[in-house]
A = this chain, B = another copy of it.
């Protein structure tokens, strides 16, 4: 057990938001507010940039009821950022600034909620603080609908996005098949390098509404095989329902969606989108069939109304665990999930810690053996893996038939 460390904590959110990232925020904030070692609880505006700019909100001044509503409020309530921290060996100004802010407000705990880029940021700051001799415990809290973080069984945010995808695919399947005319539908799902979310479309099969074909970025995309697969199904049953990841690439590595020079985000990642329309155009030209393209777009990452209660609970747990572990002396780690069996042999989520280096800047993709041989569907192993994560209907607060989101005062310190 490490020595007791008294001081303030700061929490920040980063990267693409999810339907439940605020549930992790609530887990951190509530647990930190209740921790005797933590003297002040601050939320930073727009991730690490809020720390750099000293824009910090005092969480003790928030109404507890409103804070609790964070459990069902989508997107990052404190704002997000895509600020890329430089290599401190080359440019340490950001790190010096963060150290100044930490010292000024006696911040001894830093909880950063994000994906692999954010874990990299945590690691760099953690290393810098250690080098500077400033005692500060830093714990990463994972989140990503992409589910691509290494070192954790799954990621907070994935289950809710997967539930949205599976439910929407089930409903769209019913709609697409309503007419007595031939129809091909292409549904585009997020996931730049990993097919976890697109694979979740297969869960709709449990509602009897499975896609016919599922294409993940893990498998090089071959346009001729694709046409052959689509035509074969379309000719046999007069319709074809295709789920496809935005990140599918040809064998040479180019994204299928990349027909135009697109803007890049702050990390130099190509901004993808429009793949469904591109593929639909190609299918239409090839088959002459009626083709419908649907992009689930941002809805899949912000649909709190259909967030899985399992995911909300686990996201809260991730935030809570980060604080409890930090107070107990841990630092330079990321909270991670393990898959345990409950007393009845069912699914139970366990908590562990991973070194930040495990998750920083690497990506976990869908194992090849969880994708069928032809690369056009996921296996039962995949379904068994994903299904427990979409369980539970959330108990959000409704007012006027609409979601009641958290209304924070955000009082600057």
Q: Is the CB of A403 within 8 A of B175?
A: no
A79 within 8 Å of B by Cβ? Answer: yes
Q: Assuming A171-B305, A260-B266, is B179 touching A82 (CB within 8 A)?
A: yes
Fill in one digit per residue for A257-273: 1 if any B CB lies within 8 Å of its CB, else 0: 00111010111010011
A378 proximal to B (CB < 8 A): no
Whether A207 pairs with B277 at a CB distance below 8 angstroms is no
Tell which of B76, B170, B304 touches A402, judged by Cβ atoms closer than 8 Å: B170
A106, CB-defined interface residue at 8 Å? no
- Residues in A179-193 with C-beta less than 8 Å from chain B: 179-180
Instruction: Determine if A176 is an interface residue (Cβ-Cβ < 8 Å).
Output: yes
* Interface residues of A, count at CB 8 A: 78
A29 beta carbon closer than 8 Å to chain B: no
Q: Does A6 contact B (CB under 8 A)?
A: no
| Binding stretch for chain B, among A93-101, A161-169, A223-231, A321-329 | A161-169
Q: What residues of B have a CB within 8 angstroms of the CB of A390 in the complex? A: 401-402
**CB-contact partner of A405 in B46, B207, B266, under 8 A:** B207
Whether the Cβ atoms of A290 and B306 lie closer than 8 Å is no
Given that A175-B298, A299-B299 are contacting pairs, would A267 and B277 also be in contact in the complex, using a CB cutoff of 8 Å?
A: no
Q: With CB as the reference atom, state the residue of chain B lying closest to A389.
A: B401
**Per-position 1/0 for A226-250, Cβ under 8 A of B:** 0000000000000000000000000
Segment at the B interface, from A114-122, A124-132, A359-367, A392-400: A392-400
CA distance A121 to B299 in the complex (A): 37
Give the contacting residue for A401; candidates B273, B308, B398, B407; CB below 8 A: B308
Residue from B174, B302, B399 in contact with A302 in the complex, judged by beta carbons closer than 8 Å:
B174
18 contacts between A and B (CB under 8 A): A73-B174, A75-B177, A80-B178, A81-B179, A163-B401, A167-B403, A171-B305, A206-B399, A206-B400, A207-B400, A207-B402, A259-B265, A260-B266, A272-B274, A273-B277, A294-B297, A295-B297, A308-B401
A:364-397 near B, CB below 8 Å? 387, 390-393
CA of A240 to CA of B177, assembled, Å: 36
Is there an interface contact between B403 and A178, defined as CB atoms closer than 8 Å? no
A76 to B174, CA, bound (A): 8
A127 nearest CB across to chain B (Å): 26
Closest beta carbon of chain B to A19's beta carbon, Å: 8
Known contacts being A261-B266, A272-B278, A273-B274, is A75 close to B400, with CB within 8 Å? Answer: no
A46 contacts B180, C-beta separation under 8 Å: yes
